[in-house]
Structure 1
Amino acid sequence: MTKQINLPFDDSGCGWYAALAPRPDVKRLQGRQQADYAVIGAGFAGLAAARRLAERLPEARILLVDAQRAGFGASGRNSGFVIDLPHKFALEHPDPAHKQRLLRLNRAAIGQLQGLVEKHRIDCQWSHAGKYQGAVGPRGQAYLDHFERLLGELGEPFRRAGREELKAVLGTGHYSDAIFTPGCYLMQPAALVTGLARSLPPNVELLEESPIRRLERDGQGGWILHGDEGSIATPTLLLGTSIFTQEFGYLRNRLLPVMTFASWTRPLTDAELARYGGQLDWGLTPADHAGTTVRMTRDRRLIIRNTYKHVPRYGRSTSDAMREQVRARHRGAFLARFPQLADVPFSHTWGGVYAISRNFTNFFGELDQGVYATACDNGVGAAWGTISGTLLADRAIGAGSEQLRDIEAVTGMPSRNPPEPFLGIGVRSRIQLAAWSSRSEL
């Protein structure tokens, strides 16, 4: 028997979620339920897994359970990039075949999401906008030069964009240089996740605000999931729980919970938009990994994202005072880029937890008899969660494919972490050093 100790505890300040229309009444787990398959976690991975199971097995009963509302957790709190390229350290992998597999998987996820957005008319600002990777000064430009070499080795299209082009698009002269890559898509993450949840096949039942407190073997090779007001008996369990996988007793001491923060403005008025002077619907990530991500949404909101925290108790590791400090840091980054909008306030500031591993390895596969998981997205949850959840369902039912072989080739076991307090000291020191080193790019 495994007891889950820590549950998600996300703040209520997520702007993406607050911008949604009112949600239908929630359906919770109650009473004793039987399911052919149970999926825990209604983020990108869990939604994709449940959908794939339902499509493959239309007569099966599938229960998808989440401790919160779909779209309220980590999958609805990111910056809204669906990235096709191998991301950050994955792009530096020495094996070209490894990177090509990642490209194929990411692009399959994008195609899958685009098909669902179109089929179900999900209103989520879905856009094939591409992505800028921007540099402020010499440090960032050195990273861009390295990024250009890696893209050349990969054979992927890109172009350099200078200060004048960037000012025309971004409405700021803050950036000296950037690389534009065309394969990235932008979206409103909470709207996309809730749209995916609303459009699940009829043999998937979504149970929200229904935390699973413990798992128990049923004595016959299956599992019983215990909630507050009910339970689920199932022979097969899929975990789309990312960092929370360790709370069920799996991958303990192998995942690192990190929270990153964002703030956004209210929609700009016509007069403010004229002062801004740039375009709508673009996204920029920093050349220096510890720098600042910036987005302008289709509905005229500017987003600033930076600041990373090690959060061993997830949302309970944060506080209102910490978020105020983060908000002030975001304000400084905003004013450095858009001084002409100094009178435009932030309306929301929020954080989101994701999992990284010390060896930047994603886990995918069987954890226990009848238990399958995809965990540790290393900061690229939209594409990776979608394709890994889809293929996890195939893995659970024994449906082989070239894509399944690809994902099994690029995943493995996250490396073990050192014990506390050394882990916390080390992670905090690394984050502080990265922030100090990257201060010119923030």
Structure 2
Amino acid sequence: MTNKNANLPLDDSSCGWYSALHDLPAAKRLQGQQRADYAVIGAGFAGLAAARRLAEQLPEARILLIDAQRVGYGASGRNSGFVIDLPHKFALEHPDPAHKQRLLGLNRAAISQLQGLVDQHGIDCQWSHAGKYQGAVGPRGQAYLEHFAKLMKDLGEPFEWVDRGALAKVIGSQHYSQAIFTPGCYLMQPAALVNGLARSLPANVELLEESPIQRLESDANGGWVLHGSQGRITTPKLLLGTSIFTQEFGYLRNRLLPVMTFASWTRQLTDAELAEYGGQLDWGLTPADHAGTTVRMTQDRRLIIRNTYKHVPKYGRSTSDAMRQQIARDHRKAFVARFPQLAAVPFTHTWGGVYAISRNFTNFFGELQDGVFASACDNGVGAAWGTISGTLLADLAIGADSSQLRDIQAVTGMPSLNPPEPFLGLGVRSRIRLAAFNSRSEI
């Protein structure tokens, strides 16, 4: 089942978050024959949390954490830097209030865990309890906001309506007619956060970067052999924090959809530009209409625009420089519409990040087969979900029990099967185009 060669990550080299990092240590790579009590593939939020938990619970165990790229170079360092407590918009529609409360509790446990690690290890990642705005441009967005307000009331969660004028004082833009502010979201620099988490792992975790695992095979003892280009790892238990790439090892095949979103950011604003901008630093706004535009202002004076979704069946190989240049032009239009006073400020980076969604918006968590555990398919809310699901996956792998473990088992399941190609690709591309057309007034 898992003896095929895997299609490996191939991300563009223009991620602004990663480019802003400094003084990264040299990568240690997989070489020769290695043995581990536990191996974790994927050093994103889920893999980092799983490796940390295993090491803390089993201080005498040898844990190997392996990534095909540098930490923060993949999806974990390419998001917009939100750590969101509220369940995903689709999850908020769930008919069972207990289901939503479990998700909320799990997300908040993740935030608390990350907060503790940032404080304990002094991780410099622009961590901030800034809350989050959800903004509407026109009538379509306004209708989504009204619905969101109803869901918040049903959930018993605090929220605050913000009118155009009050919002403009924060974000420096009159573009939005209204917004809802929710207080529980945190903001951060994602590539800096995951790198800080990686550099503060317990001593019994060994991190191997730039070490793609190309093939898995079972061994005669019921364990696993992980094959890289320069070495192999033998382990009795394997944890996968590989998101969309889980299917490359033969698991959850035809159940995950690879989708890429794109962002652009400016250089740091000068003092004069900051005065012209007229808003505050350190805020984040997501669109009321989920196909709209996400906007952020970082603590270090950079504005970020994120929109555009692409179905990427070959991951990074499905994109091109020409595609990214066109997306940057589209981002420029969205940027100037919001910040005409900053029309002369250039973008310095435009990048994409691939993540996994499922047609039934269900996250997978559990044991795939004897000795192989996975958390896969975060449906676009990866920082909090990856952190808590990775932590609890380690508990599952060592046979621990907790109310949180029971909660995550209650709210996860099996992603639904996808139709075969070419129907899948045609359907996904058509839905993305339709969503973009319907949401054009909010983009």
Could you tell me the TM-score, scaled by structure 2's length?
A: 0.99
- Find the counterpart in structure 1 of residue 368 from structure 2: 367
- Find the counterpart in structure 1 of residue 84 from structure 2: 83
- Find the counterpart in structure 1 of residue 178 from structure 2: 177
Aligned residues: 442
> For 1:224, what is the secondary structure of its paired residue?
strand
Quote the offset at 1:3 in angstroms: 1.9
Which ranges in structure 2 are unaligned for 5 or more consecutive residues?
Answer: none
Quote the offset at 1:87 in angstroms: 1.1
Quote the offset at 1:290 in angstroms: 0.1
- Find the counterpart in structure 2 of residue 421 from structure 1: 422
CA RMSD of aligned residues (A): 0.5
- Find the counterpart in structure 2 of residue 338 from structure 1: 339
> For 1:167, what is the secondary structure of its paired residue?
helix
- Find the counterpart in structure 2 of residue 101 from structure 1: 102
- Find the counterpart in structure 2 of residue 393 from structure 1: 394
| Structure 2 residue 226 is matched with structure 1 residue 225 | yes
Quote the offset at 1:2 in angstroms: 1.8
Separation of aligned partners in 2, 1:397 and 1:145: 45
Matches within 5 A, 1:252-291: 252-291=253-292
Separation of aligned partners in 1, 2:23 and 2:307: 29
> For 1:316, what is the secondary structure of its paired residue?
helix
- Find the counterpart in structure 2 of residue 384 from structure 1: 385
- Find the counterpart in structure 1 of residue 301 from structure 2: 300
| Structure 2 residue 14 is matched with structure 1 residue 9 | no
- Find the counterpart in structure 2 of residue 192 from structure 1: 193
- Find the counterpart in structure 2 of residue 73 from structure 1: 74
Separation of aligned partners in 1, 2:201 and 2:311: 34
- Find the counterpart in structure 1 of residue 357 from structure 2: 356
Separation of aligned partners in 2, 1:2 and 1:377: 25
Amino acid at match of 2:297: M
Amino acid at match of 2:206: E
Separation of aligned partners in 1, 2:276 and 2:56: 49
- Find the counterpart in structure 2 of residue 125 from structure 1: 126
Quote the offset at 1:219 in angstroms: 1.2
- Find the counterpart in structure 1 of residue 63 from structure 2: 62
Deviation readout 1:164-185 (Å, 9 max, x if unpaired): 0011000000000000000000
Separation of aligned partners in 2, 1:49 and 1:75: 14
Amino acid at match of 1:52: R
Amino acid at match of 2:138: G
The answer on whether the counterparts of 1:356 and 1:376 sit within 8 Å (CA) in structure 2 is yes
- Find the counterpart in structure 2 of residue 40 from structure 1: 41
Separation of aligned partners in 2, 1:16 and 1:25: 18
The answer on whether the counterparts of 1:4 and 1:212 sit within 8 Å (CA) in structure 2 is no
Amino acid at match of 2:434: L
Quote the offset at 1:38 in angstroms: 0.1
Deviation readout 1:174-209 (Å, 9 max, x if unpaired): 000000000000000000000000000000000000
Quote the offset at 1:88 in angstroms: 1.2
Separation of aligned partners in 2, 1:328 and 1:93: 37
- Find the counterpart in structure 2 of residue 238 from structure 1: 239
> For 2:90, what is the secondary structure of its paired residue?
helix
Quote the offset at 1:16 in angstroms: 0.1
Amino acid at match of 2:145: L
- Find the counterpart in structure 2 of residue 168 from structure 1: 169
Quote the offset at 1:295 in angstroms: 0.1
Separation of aligned partners in 2, 1:224 and 1:287: 46
Amino acid at match of 1:100: Q
Amino acid at match of 2:101: Q
> For 2:112, what is the secondary structure of its paired residue?
helix
> For 2:68, what is the secondary structure of its paired residue?
coil
Deviation readout 1:328-370 (Å, 9 max, x if unpaired): 0000000000000011000000000000000000000000110
- Find the counterpart in structure 2 of residue 25 from structure 1: 26
Quote the offset at 1:4 in angstroms: 3.3
- Find the counterpart in structure 1 of residue 207 from structure 2: 206
Amino acid at match of 1:346: F
Which ranges in structure 1 are unaligned for 5 or more consecutive residues?
Answer: none
Quote the offset at 1:22 in angstroms: 2.9
- Find the counterpart in structure 2 of residue 438 from structure 1: 439
The answer on whether the counterparts of 1:355 and 1:376 sit within 8 Å (CA) in structure 2 is yes
Separation of aligned partners in 2, 1:143 and 1:149: 10
Deviation readout 1:85-124 (Å, 9 max, x if unpaired): 0111011111000000000000000000000000000000
Separation of aligned partners in 2, 1:428 and 1:29: 38
Which aligned runs of 4 or more in structure 1 are off by greater than 6 angstroms?
none
